Structure 1
Amino acid sequence: MQSLKLRPLVFYPPFSSNPLQSFLLSFSTASSSTPKYHHSKEATFLFDFLNSNFKLSKPQSVFISKRLSGTTFPRNHPLSVINFFKQIGFSQIQIQTIIRQRVQILFSDVDKTLRPKLDLFQQLGFQGSDLSGFISKYPTILTASLNKTLVPSVEAIKKIVRNEKDLIHVLCKCGQILPKYQLFVSNIAFLESCGIVGNQVLILLKRQSRLLCLSQSAIRNYVLQAVELGFHQNSRMLIHALHTISGLRKETFKRKLDLIQSFGFSKDETLQMFKKYPALFRVSDKKLKVGIEFFLHTVMLPKSALANQPVILMYSIEDRVFPRYRVFQLLKSHNLCKVPSFVYVLCLSEEMFLGKYISKFKENTEALLIAYKGHHIAG
């Protein structure tokens, strides 16, 4: 049999103790004149390996089948991509996540396409697990143009995030925006025309960056909904309304309205509560129900007081509301001081509450602390 002319291949560390190691070894030498069936054998083995290790969908399998078909094996070998990720610290689960979401990355050129993009984020401060976690969370970054999309997007975000220390935190929150530069810039311009500028845009980036990835018509629709509910453009509350409205389905929003009204609040009072504190409609139905029942039936708070101070429904019942109510009752029953109202006590900061209603009364400090902390102190 005629001997085959060998050409050296670059060796990478085994991806894991699976068929890849034997695969690399079995194809560690190949001939430039290898017969056509050898290419088919390698393609078949690789296809089976990728399917079994990455649990590819049918469309992804079809995509890979087309890329592996023919007499010439892909120039950008998928295994070189896999091992590149592993060499720079990506876990197997992270690599699987990337491949399942964007299978075309398997055929990227490591040095020309992938490495420069990762270098960009390393220069911004992403290192180690932060880098691998970020990329695996937003794998579409690796399919976007470096110079036409990623770099301009980062620069646009830098103009909003003045503090470099916060940049990584913000990017981790809004990484899905990076591959959508033109849409992002267009949406920012529209929101600025509505009076949402400066730190308000930063709030959106941190809390509801998904909104900035929507079509401008969708954002315009949310703005119109907010206006119909009583919010004004150029109002500082508009951004908070958009945050809530864009995150809720219309059915969910209506359910919140109906739940509050079931306790005897009028529609106007309910909408007033939403306008004063839009985040109220993002809490669970259970939390809303327990809170309203407690304030109306236990504290005996008039509905008008709750409508004027809906923020108190956001406080933790177990960690803040119940404990402070016990202290409030103790202060009243012992006539230790005149307390304006329970709502006043509830809205104080922790430091002010402790100083004003617990540590101030030295002879009763222990009893007040037990009332406030309950079993935490008793233990």
Structure 2
Amino acid sequence: MNTKGAMRNLLPLLQKRFLSTSSSCTPTLSPLSTAPSSSFTVDFLINSCGLPSKSALSVSQKLQLDEKSIQKPQSVLEFLKAHGFKESQVVKLIEKRPVILRRGVDTNLKPKFEFLIANGFVGKLLPELITSNPNVLERALESNMKPCFEYFKSILGSNDMIVAASKRCAVFLTYDWKSIIQPNVELLIKEGVPEERVVKMIVAQPRIIYQRRDRMVYAVNAVKNLGLEPKAPMFIYALRSMLSMNEFTWKKKIEVMKSFGWTEEEILQAFKQYPFQLSSSEEKMRKSMDFLLNTIKMERQAIIACPKFLMYSTEKRLRPRYDVLKILKSKKLIEIGKKTNHLLTVSEKNFLENYVTKYADKVPGLLEVYRGTTKTER
């Protein structure tokens, strides 16, 4: 008996075992799971589509293929491969959306693929989009996909911008643009946010524009009440930060800042300068604040003047740089005085060249200290 025949004989046994072991988790099995064509379906999914056995058995609960009409799924596979889908992408797509194997190539898939390609999803971008969000193929071409692209092109200006936003957020093209995205965009522009900043926000952080209308209105008003006008460059960033948390979380983060002696006025002053400082977790905020104030002995006013200090990782940036500077100072190789604060903000390349590599020969192990593989006395 050849390998393929042996596999086909084993499949019913594997399937029975799979169903019996999963019965405790799934009280009621689909009638399809015991259909005569189930064995053929699993066989096809494994041998033709490349699915692992367990995955094929799972997919077969949602999809049954008829051996007499196998031409359609075969043509779908050929179509996908002709458009650059790797086997791993085909597997992922079928696992997410098994019904893809029943779609007509000429009547369904081909027109949608051609439309997406014509609008910028060329080369590997097409399989990446569809694999990450198969729902895009469930949208009707004339009544949904085309109007959606037309709207986004009118706002973003080009297909390239639509592609960029889609790469950052897979569901970008399948979200309800008409009832959620469009009203939110209109709200921001009506409030006075420059259109070019709205565009940048959509491309950089598409999920921000997916907010419920009432939540968007609340966030806009909250940021305005903090003293930031919609036309101000920082308004969009403050809005993004505000939308990343609910009111309860906002209040908890304010309390964290207050626990280190900050006044509400100082907190809001820092927030308006660098809104992302409050996007960090409470734990990260505490850790950064503790290190800056109690280890480095940085003045609170210095942090208020440069709130991005709070965004730096304590373990990956602040502590390694502080340890290196402390060693160099102890060996009288540098005089940093009040420059410590500035040296925490310089680029990685700048710091590495001027304060690590430059003194590596004079201070054995300095690079290891900087990388965190050797700890200094604290």
Q: Please report the TM-score for the alignment, with normalisation by the length of structure 2.
A: 0.69
> Identity, % of aligned pairs?
24
Summarize deviations over 1:227-274 as a string: whole Å, max 9, x none.
Answer: 233332222212112212222233322222222222222233233333
User: Structure 2 stretches of 5 or more lacking a match?
Assistant: 13-30, 43-55
Corresponding residue for residue 4 of structure 1: none
Separation (CA, whole Å) in 2 of partners of 1:114 and 1:156: 22
Letter in 2 for 1:254: K
Which segment is superposed worse, 244-253 or 161-170? 161-170
Corresponding residue for residue 261 of structure 2: 264
Is the Cα contact below 8 Å between 2:184 and 2:213 reproduced in 1? yes
Q: 1:132 aligns with which of 120, 127, 132?
A: 127
Letter in 2 for 1:292: M
Separation (CA, whole Å) in 2 of partners of 1:270 and 1:366: 44
Is the Cα contact below 8 Å between 2:38 and 2:60 reproduced in 1? no
Structure 2 residue 251 is the aligned partner of structure 1 residue 254:
yes
Separation (CA, whole Å) in 2 of partners of 1:210 and 1:82: 37
Is the Cα contact below 8 Å between 2:93 and 2:134 reproduced in 1? no
Which segment is superposed worse, 241-250 or 81-90? 81-90
Is the Cα contact below 8 Å between 1:94 and 1:132 reproduced in 2? no
Separation (CA, whole Å) in 1 of partners of 2:73 and 2:245: 39
Separation (CA, whole Å) in 2 of partners of 1:346 and 1:375: 13
Summarize deviations over 1:268-288 as a string: whole Å, max 9, x none.
Answer: 323333332222222233322
Deviation at residue 223 of structure 1 after TM alignment: 0.9
- Distance verdict in 2 for CA 1:87–1:163, change over 3 Å: closer
User: 2:166 aligns to what SS in structure 1?
Assistant: helix
Corresponding residue for residue 228 of structure 1: 225
Letter in 2 for 1:110: V
Q: 1:84 aligns with which of 76, 80, 92?
A: 76
Corresponding residue for residue 346 of structure 1: 344
Letter in 1 for 2:96: T
Corresponding residue for residue 194 of structure 1: 191
Letter in 1 for 2:303: L
Where do residues 89-238 of structure 1 align in structure 2 (5 Å cutoff)?
89=85, 90-99=89-98, 108-127=103-122, 130-158=125-153, 167-179=162-174, 180-183=176-179, 184-238=181-235
Which segment is superposed worse, 261-270 or 294-303? 261-270
Deviation at residue 97 of structure 1 after TM alignment: 0.8
Separation (CA, whole Å) in 2 of partners of 1:160 and 1:356: 45
Separation (CA, whole Å) in 2 of partners of 1:46 and 1:128: 36
Q: 1:322 aligns with which of 304, 311, 319?
A: 319
Deviation at residue 354 of structure 1 after TM alignment: 5.0
User: 1:295 aligns to what SS in structure 2?
Assistant: helix
Number of aligned positions between the proteins? 323
Is the Cα contact below 8 Å between 1:323 and 1:372 reproduced in 2? no
Is the Cα contact below 8 Å between 1:95 and 1:136 reproduced in 2? no
Deviation at residue 290 of structure 1 after TM alignment: 1.6
Q: Please report the TM-score for the alignment, with normalisation by the length of structure 1.
A: 0.69
Separation (CA, whole Å) in 1 of partners of 2:327 and 2:371: 18
Is the Cα contact below 8 Å between 1:370 and 1:377 reproduced in 2? no
User: 1:172 aligns to what SS in structure 2?
Assistant: helix
Name the larger-Rg structure: 1
Structure 2 residue 284 is the aligned partner of structure 1 residue 287:
yes
Q: 1:53 aligns with which of 55, 58, 62?
A: 58
Is the Cα contact below 8 Å between 2:329 and 2:336 reproduced in 1? yes
Summarize deviations over 1:282-319 as a string: whole Å, max 9, x none.
Answer: 22333222211111111111222222222012112233
Summarize deviations over 1:144-179 as a string: whole Å, max 9, x none.
Answer: 232343234334444555676665332222442323
Separation (CA, whole Å) in 2 of partners of 1:135 and 1:209: 18
Separation (CA, whole Å) in 1 of partners of 2:231 and 2:312: 29
Where do residues 299-310 of structure 1 align in structure 2 (5 Å cutoff)?
299-310=296-307
Letter in 1 for 2:90: S
Is the Cα contact below 8 Å between 2:360 and 2:367 reproduced in 1? no
- Distance verdict in 2 for CA 1:120–1:175, change over 3 Å: farther
Deviation at residue 349 of structure 1 after TM alignment: 2.4
Corresponding residue for residue 32 of structure 1: none
Is the Cα contact below 8 Å between 1:81 and 1:106 reproduced in 2? yes
